[in-house]
Chains A and B, each alone.
Chain A
Amino acid sequence: MSPRQAPVRDVAPTVQRLRLRYAKRGRLRFSSHRDFQRAFERALRRAGVPMAYSQGFNPHPRVSYANSAPTGTASEAEYVEIAVTAMLDPEKVRLALDTALPPGLDVIEVVSSKTSDFIERLEASVWELELPGVSVKTARSAAEALMAAEEVMVERLTKNGIRTFDARGPVVAVEVPLPATPADPGGDSPEGGIHSPEEMADCAIMRLVVRHVTPSVRPDDVLVALRHVANLVPPVPVRVTRLAQGPLVADVSGQTVLNAVTDPFAADRG
């Protein structure tokens, strides 16, 4: 018998690449990246998207996932790219996929890809941390202490064992707004907060701009750093949302945190 060979199939060629921005909201923030992958690939089938498939023994749809937010973290700015075998209307695809995905995994925007190096354009993220039980004053002084430090080494268990790295360096900017100015999450409003009004009275919001580096510095790592430099220990779990990902503006100083990161689709919209 002939050596083991993958069957040669008639695979339709890729005609178009689509880039999607989606949100992970409310209770769905507890889904992992793998959970999203499964849900997304099923949604592609249910929505009838004519996907391009890879060759080989186990053909799989051509989907590229960008750096996904950690399990437990909500996000308004996750990105994924798909290859399809027909020229599709991005808005129709957005609607079909949004319908096929469960509520809480919401497709916000779809563009036809006109550029390369998309992943490289995702230079930084804006994170929002809700700190119940922490006053604005406490949060501000912790943020100042963090920015005053040269570097803050933290440890994290990774696939390759415990790694020690600097969680301060990649933090480009921090702000703690007054409670009266909640962030505009953009798009549909996420599921209502988990904290009662009494808690909110003492619930600082901290926004961070963090550059994407390797190993990546996550909000959790920054929280550890805040504990190191300012002994900040929130009494209940912190709720984290990624508000944006994209190119970092050249000069962050003088910008609000929300303006420090720009739209990664700008070049594709053209």
Chain B
Amino acid sequence: MTASILPGETSSALLVNALSDDVQSVFPELERLLPLVSKPVQYVGGELNAVIKPWNDVAVHWALMYPDAYEVGVPNQGVQILYEVLNEREDVLAERTYAVWPDLEKLMREAGVPQFTVDGHRPLGAFDLFGLSFATELGYTNMLTALDLAGIPLHAADRDERHPLVIAGGHAAFNPEPIADFIDAAVLGDGEQAVLLISNVTRDWKAEGRPGGREELLLRLARTGSVYIPSFYDVEYLPDGRIRRVAPNKPGVPWRVSKHTLMDLDEWPYPKAPLVPLAESVHERMSVEIFRGCTRGCRFCQAGMITRPVRERSAETVAKMVDAGLEKTGYEEVGLLSLSSADHSEIGLIAKGLADRYEGTETGLSLPSTRVDAFNIDLANELTRNGRRSGLTFAPEGGSERMRRVINKMVTEEDLIRTVATAYGNGWRQVKLYFMCGLPTETDEDVLQIAEVARRVIETGRKASGRKDIRCTVSIGGFIPKPHTPFQWASQLDHESTDARLRKLRDAIRNDREYGKSIGFRYHDGKPGVVEGLLSRGDRRVGAIIERVWSAGARFDGWSEHFNFEAWMLAAEGALEGHVVDVDWYTLREREYTEVLPWDHLDSGLDKDWLWEDWQDAVEEVAVEDCRWTPCFDCGVCGQMDTEIQVGPTGATLLGMPALPSRGGDLVAETSS
């Protein structure tokens, strides 16, 4: 049905996609450069379960990018899911592209090799749609490199029908205003259905001969109400620099754009065939998402706020996905992913069921994020029964009880001590604790309390294990206020104060004669947090900073060896010259209730008044419960988005799973030999 689309295109469309008639691989040109760069295998593709389709067999061509190095990007679940969902469609193909390191970038510029996909090594500029998944704002400069290497104009306003639509997704897309100049569209929330919607709209528009050109396509997407087109909104500012209002500038464009929420994860068991790269990646395991969303209500946590409500995948589907995935990948470890994996209503059944099933196969299970209060030793023992026993990580986030009430991370010090005592008593030797510094209302005393907690952990652990060689590592991250959270109005702590506070904590740990040697301390300086804060809560004026710092050479800002704070500050100074705002205005300034925030026209479902009340509760150190187990607190999401909490238990068992094939049965030699 769709095969006739390409021949039916108008002559201008043929001109547009002069390339797409027969898009050639750029691999021969790239291949000459590869002997000259480090880790060339990351650019050759060839992952197990990768898909390459003939270009002319489909109507819509997607390039998907995780804008970081291949080793970080290739395991990303979001990209893998969309890649598979799109490639399952007969009229669509999707290929992947990643940020190239500066050594290859330089050679590509010299040799005129464009940004390419790792699947078909097709030039990025030939695709219809270029989707980027931004897990963090620190990938923005890498997007500009990719656009530039692809020959796509950096500014959306300068693009025409020859160029792909540039579409941002991922958590950072909940405030895409800092990159509004560079993207054509943004999608908020779960991407599975959104990419299919966009594919259909694009396919139909192409089939009709691209009426109205690029603008018409964008209008059609905007009118769905669930794709945000920044150029269709005007931002007006007040004399003091705050936003006066954000308003649509085209008829039919909605005032607010909603996030997407996928209901019934059992119907979307992706990825079914996870990608297995040849190159080493940051996650050498297979991942299965066991639920999406989290309603624990930690006030700093953007992921927990924007992914509501909780939607569990059933134990049965999880087991089937693990089974199929292991068979297709050969991985020896399975991570059960979610924002707080021990909170799944059937986690015990899942862990025991899988441990039983893979007994004797050297297959390990892991729960990447576990709350102290949801941890129990039976669960931990099941997880390590068939594989290696790695360290345990817990995230109390705040050092003092007071701080944990402010952030609504309601785990008590007693919970933590009891949990680590059990862990050390059962043979674990290493516990990692994660905290944040720079939280609202925080004082030096709150942070110094982290040293106290660590001392108690070691003291308890030595008693529980009867040994002195147990260890605890304290890892600290700087707090960054994020959009769509109760802390979106908060002041971010300046980097000098962050560093000073962490020095005091470090000294307190180091100077402890009895326990200090058993406590590791890991932290980063506060400067990258300033840039992340600027990009998180920035508005459209921040785009000029990004472009300027990129022109000055900024790349891979998430990597400390590449990040250049001074370059960012210099770029900000230049780009904001003549404006009444500066970096401090974006980061350190506490906002008021009435201020129009840059992302107010983007609807995460959270009621702004609810967020404000929760912010007030935070300052007053009042905690709230989890709506999974207590009555609704009216955050607004379910009503606004017409969604509901989906949790078990389903009462299912894993007994119905077919038996694992015995190993080597097909390979045995005939007995005659």
- What is A's interface to B at a CB cutoff of 8 Å? 1, 4, 10, 27-28, 30-32, 34-35, 38-39, 41-50, 53, 57-59, 71-72, 84-89, 92-93, 96, 100, 102-104, 194, 236-237
Interface size class on chain B is 35 or more
> Assuming A194-B32, A237-B35, is B330 touching A71 (CB within 8 A)?
no
Chain A contact residues: helix, strand, loop or mixed: loop
Partner of B465, one of A1, A46, A49: A1
Interface: B44 (CB within 8 A): yes
User: CB-CB < 8 A to A194: which residues of B?
Assistant: 28, 31-32
Stretch of B88-96, B335-343, B546-554, B664-672 that contacts chain A = B664-672
Interface: B647 (CB within 8 A): no
Partner of B666, one of A28, A72, A92: A92
User: CB-CB < 8 A to A53: which residues of B?
Assistant: 362
Chain B contact residues: helix, strand, loop or mixed: loop
- Determine the distance from Cα of A85 to Cα of B664 in the docked complex, in whole angstroms: 9
The closest CB in chain A to the CB of B28 belongs to A194
Q: Contact check, B664 vs A86: say whether CB atoms are below 8 A apart.
A: yes
23 pairs from A and B in contact (CB 8 Å cutoff): A1-B425, A27-B44, A27-B45, A28-B44, A30-B41, A31-B278, A31-B279, A35-B280, A38-B284, A42-B48, A42-B276, A42-B332, A45-B331, A57-B388, A86-B664, A86-B668, A88-B668, A89-B669, A96-B666, A102-B47, A102-B48, A194-B28, A194-B31
Identify which of residues 423-460 in chain B touch chain A, using a CB-to-CB cut-off of 8 Å. 425, 427, 429
Identify which of residues 43-96 in chain B touch chain A, using a CB-to-CB cut-off of 8 Å. 43-48
- Determine the distance from Cα of A121 to Cα of B663 in the docked complex, in whole angstroms: 32
User: CB-CB < 8 A to A72: which residues of B?
Assistant: 34-35, 40
User: CB-CB < 8 A to B239: which residues of A?
Assistant: none
Interface residues as binary, B301-341 with A (CB distance below 8 Å gives 1, 0 otherwise) = 00000000000000000000000001111111000000000
Q: Contact check, B661 vs A48: say whether CB atoms are below 8 A apart.
A: yes
Interface: B467 (CB within 8 A): yes
User: CB-CB < 8 A to B466: which residues of A?
Assistant: 1
- Determine the distance from Cα of A87 to Cα of B276 in the docked complex, in whole angstroms: 30
- Determine the distance from Cα of A125 to Cα of B276 in the docked complex, in whole angstroms: 31
- Determine the distance from Cα of A96 to Cα of B36 in the docked complex, in whole angstroms: 35
Q: Contact check, B46 vs A28: say whether CB atoms are below 8 A apart.
A: yes
Q: Contact check, A48 vs B362: say whether CB atoms are below 8 A apart.
A: no
- Determine the distance from Cα of A10 to Cα of B359 in the docked complex, in whole angstroms: 12
User: CB-CB < 8 A to A35: which residues of B?
Assistant: 41, 278-280
- Determine the distance from Cα of A30 to Cα of B41 in the docked complex, in whole angstroms: 5
User: CB-CB < 8 A to B44: which residues of A?
Assistant: 27-28, 30-31
Residue of A39, A48, A87, A194 most packed against chain B (CB within 10 A): A48
Q: Contact check, B46 vs A102: say whether CB atoms are below 8 A apart.
A: yes
Distance between A25 CB and nearest chain B CB, rounded to angstroms:
11
Distance between B19 CB and nearest chain A CB, rounded to angstroms:
21
Distance between B507 CB and nearest chain A CB, rounded to angstroms:
32
Q: Contact check, B667 vs A45: say whether CB atoms are below 8 A apart.
A: no
Interface: B27 (CB within 8 A): yes
Q: Contact check, B388 vs A58: say whether CB atoms are below 8 A apart.
A: yes
- Determine the distance from Cα of A103 to Cα of B48 in the docked complex, in whole angstroms: 9
Q: Contact check, A49 vs B331: say whether CB atoms are below 8 A apart.
A: no
User: CB-CB < 8 A to A236: which residues of B?
Assistant: 32
Q: Contact check, A34 vs B280: say whether CB atoms are below 8 A apart.
A: yes
Distance between B262 CB and nearest chain A CB, rounded to angstroms:
30
User: CB-CB < 8 A to B36: which residues of A?
Assistant: 237
- Determine the distance from Cα of A39 to Cα of B276 in the docked complex, in whole angstroms: 9
Partner of B329, one of A34, A42, A57: A42
Q: Contact check, B280 vs A4: say whether CB atoms are below 8 A apart.
A: no
User: CB-CB < 8 A to A96: which residues of B?
Assistant: 666-667
Q: Contact check, A103 vs B35: say whether CB atoms are below 8 A apart.
A: no
Partner of A4, one of B31, B39, B328, B429: B429
The closest CB in chain B to the CB of A101 belongs to B48
Q: Contact check, B330 vs A46: say whether CB atoms are below 8 A apart.
A: yes
- Determine the distance from Cα of A4 to Cα of B430 in the docked complex, in whole angstroms: 13
Residue of B278, B429, B467 most packed against chain A (CB within 10 A): B278
- Determine the distance from Cα of A31 to Cα of B279 in the docked complex, in whole angstroms: 7
> Assuming A34-B280, A102-B278, A236-B32, is B331 touching A88 (CB within 8 A)?
no
> Assuming A43-B330, A46-B330, is B284 touching A27 (CB within 8 A)?
no
User: CB-CB < 8 A to A59: which residues of B?
Assistant: 362
Q: Contact check, A100 vs B40: say whether CB atoms are below 8 A apart.
A: no
Q: Contact check, A71 vs B327: say whether CB atoms are below 8 A apart.
A: no
Residue of B35, B36, B466, B673 most packed against chain A (CB within 10 A): B35
* The 6 residue pairs across chains A and B that have the minimum distance between CB atoms: A42-B330, A50-B664, A46-B330, A237-B35, A45-B330, A30-B40
Q: Contact check, B330 vs A104: say whether CB atoms are below 8 A apart.
A: no
The closest CB in chain B to the CB of A38 belongs to B280
- Determine the distance from Cα of A44 to Cα of B669 in the docked complex, in whole angstroms: 17
- Determine the distance from Cα of A71 to Cα of B666 in the docked complex, in whole angstroms: 34
Q: Contact check, A103 vs B673: say whether CB atoms are below 8 A apart.
A: no
User: CB-CB < 8 A to B667: which residues of A?
Assistant: 47-50, 86, 88-89, 92-93, 96
Residue of B284, B664, B666, B668 most packed against chain A (CB within 10 A): B664
- Determine the distance from Cα of A67 to Cα of B425 in the docked complex, in whole angstroms: 45
Partner of B427, one of A1, A58, A92: A1
